[in-house]
Structure 1
């Protein structure tokens, strides 16, 4: 049986696994990604990319490629609520189109421009060059696959499934089987050791094989082999019942050239049918002719029993021609987080670590943030630039975020799923008009709470982290709907434009020490460089002579981590060795 040795094994090749491969690949860390599906998904899944995820894509240089996907440039990315989809419009939350988001990005990069149309976000709500974006996961994954495959240290084993995983004293061993192979992964006694060049093709070896790694990361979804092998359970709420987005759901993927005309209203990204007969969520896939409709099944109803034509036309409230592409049952109502996100040399990320109900659109985005946090830490430990203790900070930092984000998704699911719908909505005259106006006001408030969430997306702070400097003072308020840029250690580095350039575009790949105001003198520069060399850390030194940015960051010196969170801030001629030791897990306390 052939055996491949690598530093990191990634089980699962969705967005989390692929982004982790990218984070490791850009640092030259050998890794092997196992994904049982040879092809990217062909059915719509996640469809909202957060501002923070777009910033991460920008860090790695492919945000523009992602921004080019999805709806047409001038197509509104609005969310609209209706009685039936072809009937009364109750409320609309205006979200900038792709073109308007590009104008916003240009203005926030210091280029000339109109600063775009912020829609209902509000002009100053999102201090970032990367507004949220709407594009289906099935469009995004090919971009991530191509990017991951471009790094020589990354091997994608597409169409290969991990059958078992076991932790040893010095690493992790896995048995692997090509998808569809019926052989036994333990059927051969001989072991041929092969290097990465022997498995350079995407398909990998035929027949069973073995993979040994120093570390393994389970990005393998809710039925995670890694999580189960560790005996880690989910905690939280499972499949809560609601009038909508609670329990058994059915997604209907279809094509129609007539539907926009039948809807009879300005285009939108999401259309919600809110009525007492057939609730539903319609999502525009390409802004042309493909759509996804999510409906909730009745108690005891099976997906195979659903008359797709009947429920689709009931949600729309009118007849129209359409061609079914596919259907998929799923369950809404999960807000679950793994009791631990790491054990020894094994880690959990993405759906393996947390399950979301889809309101708020934070499942896929929390997953990306997970692996960006973990990737640089694994690379530092593997390169001997940090002790293994650095990896303990992964669970400490990311699990509270998972709890925070799933709680938000649950609140939004309750807000829309349990909304009271009266039967007067379609009544004639003043009675119906009053009922629709009252419901519209409630829905408008809900939409602002669910979709205008800069605090949720940009306000992640690791204030209780063992690798972040502690500061005295009040804890910043965590408000999903309001983001206040603060450079408190543990926070995302605030966005600023200096000399016509986005500040965080000037940060290095790994650690960056930003000198605000007066530049580092020769002695201070030598101190930081010597400290970095002592630990084997890649450290960039950046001088920023900008009064506004200096005031925003609130210190003369700021140490930025590879994930663009702040590790420390303070004055010139600080103890460089001590602060780099803290940021890389070498300090026992702060």
Structure 2
């Protein structure tokens, strides 16, 4: 049986697997990605790209390419709640179009959080969130990964078993459409193979948390209906939006605009005992909208909401878990795919450092200790938002004429307005990721701002995402090096520079020295010297008289255990 050798084997070619391949590829690390589907997905799934994910795409040079996808440039990315979609509008949360987001010419309701509390803009980032379907993003990720010489994409290939030993991991692989099986031997394996992960099962790791939580909406069996309509916008008769929610006592539904012209995705709850074949897609779409319109079914797909699951551990020996293999979300808040991208970025630089000799294997132990708490945090947020909207029970008087109906609609509108701000105005959730208890970041005494999903205060406490700043007209993130960067807010002498360079060279790591003479950025970072990790988290901050060797040893896992 043929055997292929590589450094890193990635099982699963969704966003997590592809982003991991990109992180390894840009560092010239040989890797093989196995994906059983030869073609990218053709059915809408994840549709919200967070600011943090967009920052990661920016690090690798393709955030503009992703932002060009999706809804038309001037199409609002609003979220609107109605009784039925063609009837009473109850609440609207205004989100800028992609052209407004790129220019930062308007923030809509995203500007209503934090400014009064901290005197700063609500979303201090060079990349606001973006709304685009995963099925449009994956071809971009595939092309980017394939462009690296060290990355080999094996599409239409399914990993069916895994065995690990002291020196590596062996995968048995078979072509999805038949053919002779073959083996793939790697130093490390990363399972990015979804909720039914073969990799997770092979290493004996289960999920913990809640599954199949029942709610009136977004709990239990769901059906997504992908369809085309040329008259729907006219029938709805409202300013366009990205999401339209029908909230009533008869037929609830969530309609998502795909291209802003004629393609849509509708999610509805199935009743207990009901299956997809029991649903007339056209009839249920008309019931959600409240009017008839032209309807052309493209496809439909059942799925299950109500999950809040996280793997018992995200690593076992030489095998790691990322993406849905490591955590499973209900889609409220849109953080499942985004948490997956953050997993890949965190693990990618660490695997590269280890296989290229820049760090000991102990560094990889920090992956679970940093990322599993974030998975627990993010799935808990998604669960709270699913409870908030899914258990909101509309009054039967919503459509009554006169004062009773007006009163019921006004009250529901107030509740929905509070909910939507909690779910979508989340700079703290997206930008406030921090690894304060990590074994590879420096410890600092003193309090830190609370971890609040709806409020974000930029801080450079070690473990935090490096705060955004603009220096001499340039985004500070864009000035960071590919791997480690030492930010210096006062002039570095030649001896100090030589000390950092010698220590980095001795450890076999890449370090860029960046002198920044900007008082505002200096105040924001709170120290004369700040060590930035490859994933743009702060590893340490302090002064010029630092023990350079000890700091780099800490940041690369040499001080662990």
Unaligned runs of 5+ in 1: 105-115, 184-206
Structure 2 SS opposite 1:412 = helix
Q: CA shift at 1:163, angstroms?
A: 1.0
1:462 aligns with 2:459: no
Q: CA shift at 1:583, angstroms?
A: 0.2
Q: CA shift at 1:169, angstroms?
A: 1.3
Q: CA shift at 1:475, angstroms?
A: 3.2
* Alignment-derived partner of residue 290 in structure 2: 317
* Alignment-derived partner of residue 95 in structure 1: 95
* Alignment-derived partner of residue 60 in structure 2: 60
* Counterpart among 535, 538, 551 of residue 566 in structure 1: 538
Q: CA shift at 1:94, angstroms?
A: 0.1
Moved beyond 2 Å, runs of 4+: none
* Alignment-derived partner of residue 70 in structure 1: 70
- What pairs up with 1:202-241 in 2 under 5 angstroms? 207-241=180-214
Paired with 1:99 and 1:529, the residues of 2 have a C-alpha distance of: 42
1:500 aligns with 2:466: no
Unaligned runs of 5+ in 2: 113-120
Paired with 1:169 and 1:562, the residues of 2 have a C-alpha distance of: 28
**Conservation of the 8 A alpha-carbon contact between 2:309 and 2:329:** yes
Paired with 2:393 and 2:296, the residues of 1 have a C-alpha distance of: 33
Higher mean C-alpha displacement, 481-490 vs 304-313: 304-313
Paired with 1:211 and 1:253, the residues of 2 have a C-alpha distance of: 37
- What pairs up with 1:164-203 in 2 under 5 angstroms? 164-181=161-178
Paired with 2:487 and 2:360, the residues of 1 have a C-alpha distance of: 25
1:161 aligns with 2:158: yes
Q: CA shift at 1:332, angstroms?
A: 0.3
Structure 1 SS opposite 2:139 = helix
What number of residue pairs does the alignment pair up?
553
- What pairs up with 1:163-562 in 2 under 5 angstroms? 163-181=160-178, 207-516=180-489, 518-562=490-534
1:122 aligns with 2:111: yes
* Alignment-derived partner of residue 550 in structure 2: 578
**Conservation of the 8 A alpha-carbon contact between 2:245 and 2:255:** yes
Residues 309-333 of structure 1, C-alpha deviation per residue, up to 9 Å, x if partnerless?
2111111111111100000000000
Q: CA shift at 1:134, angstroms?
A: 0.3
* Alignment-derived partner of residue 115 in structure 2: none
Q: CA shift at 1:208, angstroms?
A: 1.4
**Conservation of the 8 A alpha-carbon contact between 2:428 and 2:455:** yes
Q: CA shift at 1:168, angstroms?
A: 1.3
**Conservation of the 8 A alpha-carbon contact between 2:335 and 2:382:** yes
Paired with 2:257 and 2:449, the residues of 1 have a C-alpha distance of: 37
Structure 2 SS opposite 1:162 = strand
* Alignment-derived partner of residue 189 in structure 1: none
* Alignment-derived partner of residue 83 in structure 1: 83
Structure 2 SS opposite 1:28 = coil
Q: CA shift at 1:513, angstroms?
A: 0.3
TM-score by length of 1: 0.93
Q: Cα gap change, 1:464/1:529 in structure 2, threshold over 3 Å: closer, same or farther?
A: same
Q: CA shift at 1:476, angstroms?
A: 2.5
Paired with 1:588 and 1:377, the residues of 2 have a C-alpha distance of: 14
Paired with 2:499 and 2:106, the residues of 1 have a C-alpha distance of: 47
Paired with 1:390 and 1:430, the residues of 2 have a C-alpha distance of: 65
Paired with 1:337 and 1:510, the residues of 2 have a C-alpha distance of: 29
Residues 403-460 of structure 1, C-alpha deviation per residue, up to 9 Å, x if partnerless?
0000000000000000021000000011111100100000000000000000000000
* Alignment-derived partner of residue 8 in structure 2: 8
